[in-house]
Chain A
Amino acid sequence: MDRDMILEARDLTIKFGGLTAVHSFKARIGKGSIVGLIGPNGAGKTTCFNMMSGFYRPTEGRVIFNGRDITGMPPHLVCRAGIARTFQNIRLFGNGTVLQNVMVGCHVRQKSNWLHNLFYLPSNLREERAVAAKSLELLKVVGLESFADEKSRSLPYGAQRRLEIARALATEPNFLLLDEPAAGMNPQETNELMDFIRKIRTEFNLTILLIEHDMKVVMGVCEHMWVLDYGETIAEGPPESIRKNPRVIEAYLGEECVADA
Protein backbone atom coordinates (compact mmCIF):
# COMPACT_ATOMS: atom_id res chain seq x y z
CA MET A 1 0.00 0.00 0.00
CA ASP A 2 1.27 3.46 -0.88
CA ARG A 3 2.63 5.45 1.96
CA ASP A 4 0.25 8.34 1.54
CA MET A 5 -2.89 6.19 1.50
CA ILE A 6 -4.87 6.27 4.73
CA LEU A 7 -7.74 3.96 3.96
CA GLU A 8 -8.32 1.34 1.37
CA ALA A 9 -11.57 -0.52 0.79
CA ARG A 10 -10.94 -3.74 -1.10
CA ASP A 11 -14.00 -5.15 -2.83
CA LEU A 12 -16.38 -4.57 0.08
CA THR A 13 -19.51 -6.63 -0.36
CA ILE A 14 -22.32 -7.11 2.11
CA LYS A 15 -25.43 -9.21 1.86
CA PHE A 16 -28.47 -9.03 4.10
CA GLY A 17 -30.32 -12.29 3.69
CA GLY A 18 -30.40 -12.75 -0.07
CA LEU A 19 -30.09 -9.06 -0.83
CA THR A 20 -26.73 -7.61 -1.81
CA ALA A 21 -26.73 -4.12 -0.31
CA VAL A 22 -23.25 -3.16 -1.49
CA HIS A 23 -21.35 -4.98 -4.18
CA SER A 24 -17.59 -4.88 -4.52
CA PHE A 25 -16.96 -1.34 -3.35
CA LYS A 26 -13.37 -0.27 -3.99
CA ALA A 27 -11.76 2.92 -2.80
CA ARG A 28 -8.28 4.22 -2.09
CA ILE A 29 -8.28 7.35 -0.06
CA GLY A 30 -5.19 9.55 0.19
CA LYS A 31 -4.04 11.11 3.42
CA GLY A 32 -5.33 14.63 3.97
CA SER A 33 -7.94 14.55 1.22
CA ILE A 34 -11.63 15.34 1.36
CA VAL A 35 -13.60 12.80 -0.61
CA GLY A 36 -17.27 12.06 -1.09
CA LEU A 37 -19.66 9.19 -1.45
CA ILE A 38 -22.85 10.06 -3.28
CA GLY A 39 -25.82 8.31 -4.74
CA PRO A 40 -29.60 8.19 -4.56
CA ASN A 41 -31.50 7.07 -1.45
CA GLY A 42 -30.95 3.44 -0.60
CA ALA A 43 -27.85 3.18 -2.76
CA GLY A 44 -25.82 1.72 0.09
CA LYS A 45 -23.80 4.76 1.16
CA THR A 46 -24.47 4.47 4.88
CA THR A 47 -23.94 0.72 4.64
CA CYS A 48 -20.43 1.45 3.31
CA PHE A 49 -19.87 3.75 6.28
CA ASN A 50 -21.05 1.06 8.64
CA MET A 51 -18.58 -1.40 7.16
CA MET A 52 -15.70 1.04 7.48
CA SER A 53 -16.57 2.00 11.06
CA GLY A 54 -17.04 -1.56 12.31
CA PHE A 55 -20.83 -1.53 12.71
CA TYR A 56 -21.29 -4.10 9.94
CA ARG A 57 -18.98 -6.91 9.06
CA PRO A 58 -18.58 -7.13 5.28
CA THR A 59 -19.55 -10.47 3.75
CA GLU A 60 -16.50 -10.20 1.52
CA GLY A 61 -13.62 -7.78 1.10
CA ARG A 62 -11.29 -5.98 3.49
CA VAL A 63 -10.85 -2.58 5.02
CA ILE A 64 -7.23 -1.50 5.39
CA PHE A 65 -6.60 1.51 7.58
CA ASN A 66 -3.12 2.96 7.92
CA GLY A 67 -1.70 -0.29 6.61
CA ARG A 68 -3.62 -2.32 9.15
CA ASP A 69 -6.46 -4.73 8.39
CA ILE A 70 -9.44 -3.55 10.45
CA THR A 71 -12.12 -5.69 8.78
CA GLY A 72 -14.66 -6.90 11.29
CA MET A 73 -13.13 -5.02 14.22
CA PRO A 74 -15.79 -3.88 16.71
CA PRO A 75 -16.69 -0.17 16.45
CA HIS A 76 -14.98 0.88 19.66
CA LEU A 77 -11.65 -0.50 18.48
CA VAL A 78 -12.06 1.07 15.07
CA CYS A 79 -12.57 4.38 16.85
CA ARG A 80 -9.50 3.80 18.97
CA ALA A 81 -7.55 3.05 15.77
CA GLY A 82 -8.43 6.54 14.58
CA ILE A 83 -11.70 6.50 12.62
CA ALA A 84 -14.54 8.67 13.90
CA ARG A 85 -18.00 9.05 12.46
CA THR A 86 -21.25 10.96 12.68
CA PHE A 87 -24.72 9.60 12.05
CA GLN A 88 -27.26 10.41 9.39
CA ASN A 89 -30.09 10.59 11.93
CA ILE A 90 -28.29 12.56 14.63
CA ARG A 91 -27.49 10.37 17.63
CA LEU A 92 -26.55 12.54 20.57
CA PHE A 93 -26.63 11.57 24.22
CA GLY A 94 -29.85 13.50 24.64
CA ASN A 95 -29.98 13.79 28.42
CA GLY A 96 -26.38 14.94 28.72
CA THR A 97 -25.24 18.52 28.41
CA VAL A 98 -23.46 19.73 25.29
CA LEU A 99 -20.15 19.65 27.15
CA GLN A 100 -20.75 16.15 28.49
CA ASN A 101 -21.37 14.89 24.96
CA VAL A 102 -17.95 16.06 23.87
CA MET A 103 -16.31 14.76 27.06
CA VAL A 104 -17.62 11.28 26.27
CA GLY A 105 -15.68 11.52 23.02
CA CYS A 106 -12.50 12.30 24.97
CA HIS A 107 -12.86 9.18 27.08
CA VAL A 108 -11.29 6.82 24.59
CA ARG A 109 -7.96 8.66 24.97
CA GLN A 110 -8.11 8.82 28.78
CA LYS A 111 -5.60 6.81 30.76
CA SER A 112 -6.88 6.69 34.33
CA ASN A 113 -9.49 4.15 35.33
CA TRP A 114 -12.42 4.16 37.74
CA LEU A 115 -10.33 3.22 40.77
CA HIS A 116 -8.13 6.30 40.31
CA ASN A 117 -11.37 8.15 40.24
CA LEU A 118 -12.65 6.69 43.47
CA PHE A 119 -9.47 7.43 45.37
CA TYR A 120 -9.20 11.01 44.20
CA LEU A 121 -5.73 10.56 42.68
CA PRO A 122 -4.17 13.88 41.66
CA SER A 123 -3.26 12.47 38.24
CA ASN A 124 -6.91 11.64 37.70
CA LEU A 125 -8.04 15.11 38.79
CA ARG A 126 -5.58 16.69 36.38
CA GLU A 127 -6.75 14.48 33.56
CA GLU A 128 -10.41 15.20 34.21
CA ARG A 129 -9.68 18.91 34.17
CA ALA A 130 -7.74 18.54 30.93
CA VAL A 131 -10.65 16.65 29.38
CA ALA A 132 -13.10 19.40 30.32
CA ALA A 133 -10.75 22.06 28.96
CA LYS A 134 -10.18 20.17 25.70
CA SER A 135 -13.92 19.64 25.27
CA LEU A 136 -14.59 23.32 25.77
CA GLU A 137 -11.88 24.09 23.22
CA LEU A 138 -13.62 21.81 20.69
CA LEU A 139 -16.93 23.48 21.39
CA LYS A 140 -15.28 26.79 20.49
CA VAL A 141 -14.14 25.27 17.19
CA VAL A 142 -17.74 24.45 16.28
CA GLY A 143 -19.06 27.65 17.83
CA LEU A 144 -21.12 26.07 20.59
CA GLU A 145 -19.15 27.14 23.67
CA SER A 146 -21.98 29.35 24.91
CA PHE A 147 -24.30 26.32 24.99
CA ALA A 148 -21.89 24.13 26.99
CA ASP A 149 -24.31 23.58 29.89
CA GLU A 150 -27.50 23.23 27.86
CA LYS A 151 -29.07 19.83 27.40
CA SER A 152 -27.92 18.57 24.02
CA ARG A 153 -31.48 17.59 23.15
CA SER A 154 -32.61 21.21 23.35
CA LEU A 155 -30.17 22.45 20.67
CA PRO A 156 -31.47 23.49 17.26
CA TYR A 157 -30.94 21.02 14.44
CA GLY A 158 -27.91 22.57 12.80
CA ALA A 159 -26.17 22.96 16.15
CA GLN A 160 -26.82 19.30 16.93
CA ARG A 161 -25.02 18.36 13.72
CA ARG A 162 -22.05 20.51 14.68
CA LEU A 163 -22.03 19.02 18.17
CA GLU A 164 -21.85 15.56 16.65
CA ILE A 165 -18.78 16.65 14.70
CA ALA A 166 -17.16 18.13 17.82
CA ARG A 167 -17.84 14.89 19.65
CA ALA A 168 -16.24 12.89 16.84
CA LEU A 169 -13.20 15.20 16.85
CA ALA A 170 -12.80 14.59 20.58
CA THR A 171 -11.81 11.00 19.87
CA GLU A 172 -8.70 12.39 18.09
CA PRO A 173 -9.29 10.71 14.74
CA ASN A 174 -7.09 10.72 11.63
CA PHE A 175 -10.04 9.84 9.49
CA LEU A 176 -13.50 11.33 9.81
CA LEU A 177 -16.68 9.92 8.29
CA LEU A 178 -19.49 12.49 7.99
CA ASP A 179 -22.92 11.09 7.17
CA GLU A 180 -24.96 13.81 5.45
CA PRO A 181 -23.59 16.76 7.41
CA ALA A 182 -25.62 19.28 5.40
CA ALA A 183 -28.98 17.56 5.79
CA GLY A 184 -31.65 20.02 6.86
CA MET A 185 -29.43 23.09 6.51
CA ASN A 186 -30.31 26.28 4.64
CA PRO A 187 -28.02 27.57 1.84
CA GLN A 188 -26.16 29.95 4.10
CA GLU A 189 -25.51 27.28 6.70
CA THR A 190 -24.40 24.98 3.91
CA ASN A 191 -21.81 27.50 2.75
CA GLU A 192 -20.52 27.85 6.28
CA LEU A 193 -20.37 24.11 6.57
CA MET A 194 -18.14 23.84 3.50
CA ASP A 195 -15.66 26.30 4.97
CA PHE A 196 -15.90 24.52 8.27
CA ILE A 197 -15.06 21.13 6.76
CA ARG A 198 -11.99 22.57 5.05
CA LYS A 199 -10.98 24.29 8.27
CA ILE A 200 -11.08 21.20 10.45
CA ARG A 201 -9.22 19.21 7.83
CA THR A 202 -6.20 21.52 8.15
CA GLU A 203 -6.56 22.23 11.84
CA PHE A 204 -6.86 18.60 12.93
CA ASN A 205 -4.80 17.02 10.18
CA LEU A 206 -7.75 14.95 9.00
CA THR A 207 -8.81 12.93 6.05
CA ILE A 208 -12.57 13.32 5.53
CA LEU A 209 -15.03 11.09 3.76
CA LEU A 210 -18.54 12.44 3.52
CA ILE A 211 -21.87 11.18 2.35
CA GLU A 212 -23.99 13.95 0.98
CA HIS A 213 -27.14 14.57 -0.95
CA ASP A 214 -26.49 18.25 -1.51
CA MET A 215 -24.59 18.29 -4.81
CA LYS A 216 -23.33 21.80 -4.16
CA VAL A 217 -21.52 20.64 -1.02
CA VAL A 218 -19.98 17.57 -2.59
CA MET A 219 -18.89 19.32 -5.74
CA GLY A 220 -17.63 22.24 -3.65
CA VAL A 221 -15.39 20.49 -1.17
CA CYS A 222 -14.59 17.03 -2.46
CA GLU A 223 -11.49 16.32 -4.46
CA HIS A 224 -12.59 12.89 -5.48
CA MET A 225 -15.81 10.93 -5.23
CA TRP A 226 -17.56 7.63 -5.71
CA VAL A 227 -21.12 7.28 -6.92
CA LEU A 228 -23.22 4.36 -5.73
CA ASP A 229 -26.49 3.15 -7.19
CA TYR A 230 -28.24 0.03 -5.96
CA GLY A 231 -25.04 -1.04 -4.22
CA GLU A 232 -22.91 -0.80 -7.37
CA THR A 233 -20.19 1.77 -7.90
CA ILE A 234 -21.31 3.41 -11.13
CA ALA A 235 -18.69 6.14 -11.31
CA GLU A 236 -15.54 7.40 -9.67
CA GLY A 237 -13.38 10.44 -10.19
CA PRO A 238 -12.95 14.14 -9.54
CA PRO A 239 -16.06 16.38 -9.47
CA GLU A 240 -15.72 17.63 -13.06
CA SER A 241 -15.77 14.15 -14.55
CA ILE A 242 -18.62 13.02 -12.30
CA ARG A 243 -20.71 16.00 -13.34
CA LYS A 244 -20.50 14.94 -16.96
CA ASN A 245 -20.85 11.20 -16.43
CA PRO A 246 -24.00 9.99 -18.24
CA ARG A 247 -24.68 7.13 -15.80
CA VAL A 248 -24.60 9.51 -12.85
CA ILE A 249 -26.92 11.92 -14.58
CA GLU A 250 -29.30 9.09 -15.32
CA ALA A 251 -29.24 7.75 -11.76
CA TYR A 252 -29.82 11.21 -10.33
CA LEU A 253 -32.23 12.56 -12.90
CA GLY A 254 -34.16 9.34 -12.69
CA GLU A 255 -34.56 9.85 -9.00
CA GLU A 256 -35.37 13.52 -9.23
CA CYS A 257 -38.05 12.85 -11.81
CA VAL A 258 -39.63 10.40 -9.41
CA ALA A 259 -39.29 12.88 -6.57
CA ASP A 260 -40.89 15.65 -8.58
CA ALA A 261 -43.77 13.55 -9.78
Chain B
Amino acid sequence: MSLAMFVQHLLNGVTLGSLYALIAIGYTMVYGILRLINFAHSEIFMLGAYFVFWGIVLLHLPWAVAMVVAVIVVGALGVLVDRIAYRPLRDAPRISALISAIGVSFFLQNLAIVVFSAIPREVYRPDWLENAIVVGDIRVLPLTLFVPVLSFLLMMGLVFIVYKTKPGLGMRAISKDIETSYAMGVPVNRVIAITFGIGSALAAASGIMWTLRYPQLQPVMGMIPGFKAFIAAVVGGIGSIQGAVIGGIGLGLIEIMAVAVFPDLAGYRDALAFILLIGILLVKPTGLLGEKLEDKV
Protein backbone atom coordinates (compact mmCIF):
# COMPACT_ATOMS: atom_id res chain seq x y z
CA MET B 1 0.00 0.00 0.00
CA SER B 2 1.43 3.38 -0.93
CA LEU B 3 1.67 6.16 1.61
CA ALA B 4 -0.97 8.16 -0.22
CA MET B 5 -3.39 5.25 -0.13
CA PHE B 6 -2.62 4.65 3.50
CA VAL B 7 -3.36 8.26 4.44
CA GLN B 8 -6.65 8.11 2.58
CA HIS B 9 -7.67 4.89 4.29
CA LEU B 10 -6.63 6.36 7.60
CA LEU B 11 -8.77 9.45 7.06
CA ASN B 12 -11.70 7.32 5.92
CA GLY B 13 -11.28 5.15 8.98
CA VAL B 14 -11.21 8.10 11.34
CA THR B 15 -14.25 9.62 9.62
CA LEU B 16 -16.27 6.44 9.94
CA GLY B 17 -14.92 5.92 13.43
CA SER B 18 -15.92 9.36 14.68
CA LEU B 19 -19.44 8.75 13.38
CA TYR B 20 -19.57 5.51 15.34
CA ALA B 21 -18.12 7.30 18.34
CA LEU B 22 -20.85 9.96 18.31
CA ILE B 23 -23.56 7.29 18.35
CA ALA B 24 -21.68 5.18 20.86
CA ILE B 25 -21.60 8.07 23.34
CA GLY B 26 -25.39 8.07 23.50
CA TYR B 27 -25.48 4.33 24.14
CA THR B 28 -22.80 4.46 26.77
CA MET B 29 -24.31 7.42 28.65
CA VAL B 30 -27.74 5.81 28.84
CA TYR B 31 -26.28 2.45 29.74
CA GLY B 32 -24.05 3.95 32.38
CA ILE B 33 -27.03 5.56 34.07
CA LEU B 34 -29.93 3.17 33.50
CA ARG B 35 -28.22 -0.12 32.55
CA LEU B 36 -30.39 -0.08 29.45
CA ILE B 37 -29.43 -0.79 25.86
CA ASN B 38 -31.39 1.95 24.13
CA PHE B 39 -32.26 0.08 20.95
CA ALA B 40 -34.21 3.11 19.72
CA HIS B 41 -30.95 5.03 19.46
CA SER B 42 -30.33 3.76 15.93
CA GLU B 43 -33.71 5.13 14.86
CA ILE B 44 -32.88 8.47 16.46
CA PHE B 45 -29.78 8.48 14.26
CA MET B 46 -31.90 7.78 11.18
CA LEU B 47 -34.46 10.48 12.04
CA GLY B 48 -31.71 13.07 12.34
CA ALA B 49 -30.83 12.51 8.70
CA TYR B 50 -34.45 12.54 7.59
CA PHE B 51 -35.25 15.78 9.42
CA VAL B 52 -32.46 17.60 7.59
CA PHE B 53 -33.85 16.31 4.32
CA TRP B 54 -37.30 17.60 5.29
CA GLY B 55 -35.97 20.91 6.50
CA ILE B 56 -34.36 21.51 3.14
CA VAL B 57 -37.06 20.11 0.86
CA LEU B 58 -40.23 21.17 2.67
CA LEU B 59 -39.22 24.23 4.67
CA HIS B 60 -36.52 25.44 2.24
CA LEU B 61 -34.12 26.05 5.10
CA PRO B 62 -30.46 26.61 4.30
CA TRP B 63 -28.42 23.45 4.81
CA ALA B 64 -26.58 24.58 7.92
CA VAL B 65 -29.76 25.84 9.59
CA ALA B 66 -31.60 22.63 8.74
CA MET B 67 -28.83 20.70 10.42
CA VAL B 68 -29.03 22.66 13.66
CA VAL B 69 -32.83 22.48 13.73
CA ALA B 70 -32.79 18.74 13.10
CA VAL B 71 -30.30 18.14 15.90
CA ILE B 72 -32.44 20.10 18.35
CA VAL B 73 -35.72 18.46 17.30
CA VAL B 74 -34.22 14.99 17.51
CA GLY B 75 -32.74 15.77 20.93
CA ALA B 76 -36.24 16.67 22.10
CA LEU B 77 -37.54 13.45 20.56
CA GLY B 78 -35.03 11.47 22.60
CA VAL B 79 -36.36 13.10 25.75
CA LEU B 80 -39.89 12.22 24.68
CA VAL B 81 -38.98 8.57 24.09
CA ASP B 82 -37.55 8.35 27.58
CA ARG B 83 -40.61 10.02 29.09
CA ILE B 84 -43.10 7.72 27.37
CA ALA B 85 -41.38 4.40 27.04
CA TYR B 86 -38.67 4.16 29.70
CA ARG B 87 -39.55 6.31 32.67
CA PRO B 88 -42.67 4.30 33.59
CA LEU B 89 -40.46 1.22 33.74
CA ARG B 90 -37.75 2.55 36.08
CA ASP B 91 -38.79 0.18 38.88
CA ALA B 92 -39.60 -2.72 36.58
CA PRO B 93 -37.18 -5.57 35.90
CA ARG B 94 -34.43 -4.34 33.63
CA ILE B 95 -35.49 -6.66 30.87
CA SER B 96 -38.89 -4.93 30.55
CA ALA B 97 -37.23 -1.65 29.66
CA LEU B 98 -35.08 -3.49 27.15
CA ILE B 99 -38.13 -4.97 25.43
CA SER B 100 -39.72 -1.55 25.51
CA ALA B 101 -36.62 -0.19 23.79
CA ILE B 102 -36.85 -2.83 21.08
CA GLY B 103 -40.52 -1.92 20.69
CA VAL B 104 -39.75 1.80 20.29
CA SER B 105 -37.03 0.97 17.79
CA PHE B 106 -39.38 -1.03 15.59
CA PHE B 107 -42.12 1.52 16.01
CA LEU B 108 -39.97 4.45 14.86
CA GLN B 109 -38.45 2.47 12.04
CA ASN B 110 -41.79 1.37 10.65
CA LEU B 111 -43.36 4.75 11.24
CA ALA B 112 -40.56 6.11 9.10
CA ILE B 113 -41.44 3.56 6.43
CA VAL B 114 -45.07 4.70 6.59
CA VAL B 115 -44.25 8.40 6.51
CA PHE B 116 -41.17 8.53 4.27
CA SER B 117 -41.71 5.21 2.39
CA ALA B 118 -39.02 2.57 2.16
CA ILE B 119 -37.64 3.94 -1.11
CA PRO B 120 -34.08 5.25 -0.65
CA ARG B 121 -33.73 8.98 -1.23
CA GLU B 122 -30.87 11.13 -2.45
CA VAL B 123 -29.35 13.60 -0.04
CA TYR B 124 -28.26 17.17 -0.61
CA ARG B 125 -24.54 17.65 -0.10
CA PRO B 126 -22.78 21.00 -0.30
CA ASP B 127 -20.28 21.06 -3.16
CA TRP B 128 -17.36 22.30 -1.09
CA LEU B 129 -17.31 19.02 0.80
CA GLU B 130 -16.87 17.11 -2.44
CA ASN B 131 -14.03 18.90 -4.16
CA ALA B 132 -10.89 17.04 -3.33
CA ILE B 133 -7.88 18.89 -1.99
CA VAL B 134 -4.68 17.61 -3.59
CA VAL B 135 -1.44 17.64 -1.61
CA GLY B 136 1.29 15.91 -3.55
CA ASP B 137 0.05 12.37 -4.18
CA ILE B 138 -2.63 12.61 -1.59
CA ARG B 139 -6.19 13.48 -2.53
CA VAL B 140 -8.27 14.43 0.47
CA LEU B 141 -12.01 15.02 0.48
CA PRO B 142 -12.83 17.97 2.73
CA LEU B 143 -15.55 15.74 4.09
CA THR B 144 -13.03 13.41 5.69
CA LEU B 145 -11.63 16.38 7.58
CA PHE B 146 -14.94 18.10 8.26
CA VAL B 147 -16.54 15.08 9.95
CA PRO B 148 -13.76 14.25 12.42
CA VAL B 149 -13.24 17.93 13.30
CA LEU B 150 -16.93 18.62 13.91
CA SER B 151 -17.23 15.37 15.85
CA PHE B 152 -14.26 16.34 17.97
CA LEU B 153 -15.81 19.72 18.74
CA LEU B 154 -19.09 18.08 19.73
CA MET B 155 -17.27 15.63 21.99
CA MET B 156 -15.39 18.48 23.66
CA GLY B 157 -18.74 20.16 24.30
CA LEU B 158 -20.00 16.96 25.85
CA VAL B 159 -16.96 16.58 28.07
CA PHE B 160 -17.53 20.15 29.23
CA ILE B 161 -21.14 19.38 30.11
CA VAL B 162 -20.36 16.16 31.92
CA TYR B 163 -17.42 17.45 33.94
CA LYS B 164 -18.11 21.15 34.41
CA THR B 165 -21.85 21.62 34.80
CA LYS B 166 -24.41 20.71 37.42
CA PRO B 167 -26.43 18.30 35.25
CA GLY B 168 -23.13 16.65 34.39
CA LEU B 169 -22.39 16.17 38.06
CA GLY B 170 -25.84 14.63 38.41
CA MET B 171 -25.11 12.23 35.56
CA ARG B 172 -21.92 11.07 37.16
CA ALA B 173 -23.64 10.70 40.52
CA ILE B 174 -26.51 8.64 39.08
CA SER B 175 -24.20 6.36 37.19
CA LYS B 176 -22.41 5.57 40.45
CA ASP B 177 -25.52 4.90 42.49
CA ILE B 178 -29.05 5.83 41.48
CA GLU B 179 -30.65 5.13 44.88
CA THR B 180 -28.23 7.35 46.76
CA SER B 181 -28.63 10.04 44.13
CA TYR B 182 -32.38 10.09 44.80
CA ALA B 183 -31.69 10.35 48.49
CA MET B 184 -29.17 13.17 48.03
CA GLY B 185 -31.74 15.23 46.17
CA VAL B 186 -30.39 14.88 42.64
CA PRO B 187 -33.32 15.56 40.28
CA VAL B 188 -32.87 12.10 38.83
CA ASN B 189 -35.61 12.16 36.21
CA ARG B 190 -34.56 15.54 34.90
CA VAL B 191 -30.92 14.53 34.68
CA ILE B 192 -31.86 11.35 32.84
CA ALA B 193 -34.00 13.40 30.44
CA ILE B 194 -31.03 15.70 29.78
CA THR B 195 -28.86 12.63 29.16
CA PHE B 196 -31.31 11.33 26.59
CA GLY B 197 -31.49 14.77 24.99
CA ILE B 198 -27.73 15.11 24.64
CA GLY B 199 -27.20 11.53 23.53
CA SER B 200 -29.94 11.81 20.92
CA ALA B 201 -28.62 15.13 19.63
CA LEU B 202 -25.19 13.58 19.13
CA ALA B 203 -26.74 10.59 17.35
CA ALA B 204 -28.67 12.97 15.11
CA ALA B 205 -25.46 14.85 14.27
CA SER B 206 -23.87 11.54 13.44
CA GLY B 207 -26.82 10.53 11.26
CA ILE B 208 -26.63 13.77 9.35
CA MET B 209 -22.92 13.46 8.72
CA TRP B 210 -23.40 9.79 7.85
CA THR B 211 -25.58 10.80 4.91
CA LEU B 212 -22.84 13.17 3.74
CA ARG B 213 -20.53 10.21 3.61
CA TYR B 214 -23.02 7.59 2.36
CA PRO B 215 -25.61 9.77 0.62
CA GLN B 216 -28.70 7.64 0.83
CA LEU B 217 -31.67 7.99 3.15
CA GLN B 218 -33.53 4.86 4.19
CA PRO B 219 -35.72 4.04 7.19
CA VAL B 220 -33.55 1.02 8.06
CA MET B 221 -30.29 2.92 7.66
CA GLY B 222 -29.81 3.18 11.42
CA MET B 223 -29.81 -0.47 12.30
CA ILE B 224 -26.35 -1.57 11.24
CA PRO B 225 -24.49 1.60 12.32
CA GLY B 226 -26.48 1.48 15.56
CA PHE B 227 -25.48 -2.08 16.38
CA LYS B 228 -21.89 -1.35 15.49
CA ALA B 229 -21.78 1.76 17.61
CA PHE B 230 -23.20 -0.16 20.52
CA ILE B 231 -20.51 -2.74 20.00
CA ALA B 232 -17.95 0.05 19.97
CA ALA B 233 -19.33 1.23 23.30
CA VAL B 234 -19.10 -2.27 24.76
CA VAL B 235 -15.62 -2.81 23.41
CA GLY B 236 -14.48 0.51 24.85
CA GLY B 237 -16.08 -0.31 28.17
CA ILE B 238 -19.73 0.53 28.55
CA GLY B 239 -20.45 3.49 30.79
CA SER B 240 -17.23 5.23 29.85
CA ILE B 241 -17.37 8.16 27.42
CA GLN B 242 -13.67 7.93 26.64
CA GLY B 243 -14.17 4.22 26.04
CA ALA B 244 -16.97 4.94 23.55
CA VAL B 245 -14.77 7.35 21.63
CA ILE B 246 -11.81 4.96 21.56
CA GLY B 247 -14.05 2.01 20.69
CA GLY B 248 -15.82 3.94 17.93
CA ILE B 249 -12.71 5.26 16.25
CA GLY B 250 -10.98 1.91 16.69
CA LEU B 251 -13.87 0.07 15.08
CA GLY B 252 -13.99 2.50 12.15
CA LEU B 253 -10.27 2.10 11.55
CA ILE B 254 -10.40 -1.69 11.80
CA GLU B 255 -13.30 -1.94 9.34
CA ILE B 256 -11.70 0.29 6.72
CA MET B 257 -8.19 -1.10 7.14
CA ALA B 258 -9.26 -4.75 7.16
CA VAL B 259 -11.07 -4.36 3.87
CA ALA B 260 -8.21 -2.29 2.43
CA VAL B 261 -5.64 -4.93 3.31
CA PHE B 262 -7.79 -7.99 2.60
CA PRO B 263 -10.22 -7.03 -0.17
CA ASP B 264 -11.67 -10.56 -0.08
CA LEU B 265 -13.13 -9.78 3.33
CA ALA B 266 -15.42 -7.05 1.95
CA GLY B 267 -18.47 -9.32 2.17
CA TYR B 268 -17.76 -10.02 5.81
CA ARG B 269 -17.38 -6.38 6.81
CA ASP B 270 -20.66 -6.28 8.70
CA ALA B 271 -19.77 -9.39 10.67
CA LEU B 272 -16.38 -8.02 11.69
CA ALA B 273 -17.77 -5.86 14.48
CA PHE B 274 -19.73 -8.73 15.96
CA ILE B 275 -16.71 -11.02 15.87
CA LEU B 276 -14.69 -8.29 17.60
CA LEU B 277 -17.45 -7.93 20.18
CA ILE B 278 -17.63 -11.61 21.00
CA GLY B 279 -13.84 -11.78 21.17
CA ILE B 280 -13.56 -8.82 23.56
CA LEU B 281 -16.38 -10.00 25.79
CA LEU B 282 -14.68 -13.33 26.22
CA VAL B 283 -11.28 -11.90 27.02
CA LYS B 284 -12.29 -8.83 28.99
CA PRO B 285 -16.03 -8.80 29.70
CA THR B 286 -15.95 -5.23 30.98
CA GLY B 287 -14.42 -3.81 27.78
CA LEU B 288 -11.22 -1.84 27.51
CA LEU B 289 -12.02 0.95 30.00
CA GLY B 290 -15.08 -0.45 31.75
CA GLU B 291 -15.53 -0.80 35.48
CA LYS B 292 -16.53 -4.09 36.94
CA LEU B 293 -20.15 -4.42 38.02
CA GLU B 294 -20.15 -7.04 40.72
CA ASP B 295 -22.93 -9.23 41.90
CA LYS B 296 -22.78 -9.37 45.67
CA VAL B 297 -23.36 -12.65 47.42
Q: CB within 8 Å of B: which residues of A?
A: 46, 50, 55-56, 87
Contacts and interface: CB of A to CB of B under 8 A. Distances in A.
Interface string B264-297: 0000000000000000000000000000000001
Contacts of B297: 46, 50, 55-56, 87
Contacts, number: 5
Consensus secondary structure, chain A interface: loop
A76 to B, nearest CB: 14
Contacts of A50: 297
Nearest to B296: A89
5 contacts: A46-B297, A50-B297, A55-B297, A56-B297, A87-B297
Nearest to A46: B297
B91 to A, nearest CB: 16
A215 B268 CA distance: 66
A87 B295 CA distance: 14
B286 to A, nearest CB: 15
Nearest to B297: A55
Nearest to A89: B296
A86 B53 CA distance: 62
Contacts of A56: 297
A194 to B, nearest CB: 26
Nearest to B294: A16
A87 B297 CA distance: 8
Nearest to A75: B297
Nearest to A179: B297
A164 to B, nearest CB: 14
Contacts of A87: 297
A113 to B, nearest CB: 28
**Which 5 A-B pairs have CB atoms at the shortest separation, nearest pair first?**
A55-B297, A50-B297, A87-B297, A46-B297, A56-B297
Nearest to A16: B294
Interface string B54-94: 00000000000000000000000000000000000000000
A219 to B, nearest CB: 28
A46 B297 CA distance: 9
A93 to B, nearest CB: 15
A92 to B, nearest CB: 15
A55 B295 CA distance: 11
